[in-house]
Amino acid sequence: DARVTQTPRHKVTEMGQEVTMRCQPILGHNTVFWYRQTMMQGLELLAYFRNRAPLDDSGMPKDRFSAEMPDATLATLKIQPSEPRDSAVYFCASGFPYGGSNTGELFFGEGSRLTVL
Amino acid sequence: GQNIDQPTEMTATEGAIVQINCTYQTSGFNGLFWYQQHAGEAPTFLSYNVLDGLEEKGRFSSFLSRSKGYSYLLLKELQMKDSASYLCAVGPLNNAGNMLTFGGGTRLMVKP
């Protein structure tokens, strides 16, 4: 049963600490996304990769956030330094672009719940 | 940019039919997607519309009018397990990818 895997599932840290979240997309998917979800803002797109190349990270605060795909099986989202306002659930999603038999649907991981004290 | 509006909350009775509306303004078209998200879980894909009209998928149907920037999700024969948030999302459909912008979600509570 193919699924997107995210670690850690939960993270509590103190303000100023570095946080790294990891994602293993579904094997073969060539688009990978990082979303952040809060009660106030809903699901916000942070970063987007296609074939491991970053295509859009306009939603990501550049001064403290960075997203990379060191290889096709791993995507990372790093926050340094973390702040209390970064507390949220961070979702990774993967999929195929729309076209042919592909609907363009995204498959989401279970999320990483981050609490910054 | 994209602006997506949907009601924050709805309540319906088990066995009934409920319609969740979504209106959007976008800079270009797009496909419209519906996702379901149970509390504490990941969003899961329900349906998508590219052309105007109704797409039926079991108890769930989704409708799209591109000229009106309007979609709805219709849930029939409601079950208690349908209590969840329903997220409307729009995004470009091209070979560059499927970058989706999500609405705030509609939390549906199904009561006995």
**pLDDT the model gives residue B1:** 60
pLDDT digits (tens, 9 = 90+) for A71-91: 999 999 999 999 999 999 999
Among B33, B41, B99, the residue with its CB nearest the CB of A105 is B33
Q: In chain B, which among 70-89 make CB contacts under 8 A with chain A?
A: 87
- Cα dihedral A99/A92/B42/B50 (nearest 10): -20
Q: pLDDT at position B110, please?
A: 98
Q: What tens digit of pLDDT does each residue of B52-89 get? A: 999 998 999 999 999 999 999 999 999 999 999 999 99
State the maximum Cα–Cα separation within chain B, in Å, rounded to a whole number.
45
Cβ B88 vs Cβ B31: under 8 Å: no
Does A25 sit behind a cis peptide bond, omega within 30 degrees of 0 on the bond before it?
Answer: no
pLDDT at residue B94, as a whole number: 60
pLDDT > 70? residue B98: no
Contacts with B99 from chain A: Cβ below 8 Å: 33, 45, 48, 55-56
Chain A segment 55-84 residues within 8 A of B by beta carbon are 55-56
Structure tokens at B51: 């052309």
Mean pLDDT is lowest, of A4-18, A49-63, B78-92, for A49-63
The span from the CA of A41 to the CA of B102, in Å, is 10
d(CA B53, nearest CA chain A) in Å: 17
Reading across the β-sheet that carries A74-79, which strands appear in turn?
A: A5-7, A19-24, A74-79, A65-71
| Residue B43 contacts residue B35 (beta carbons within 8 Å) | yes
Is the pLDDT score of B2 beyond 80? no
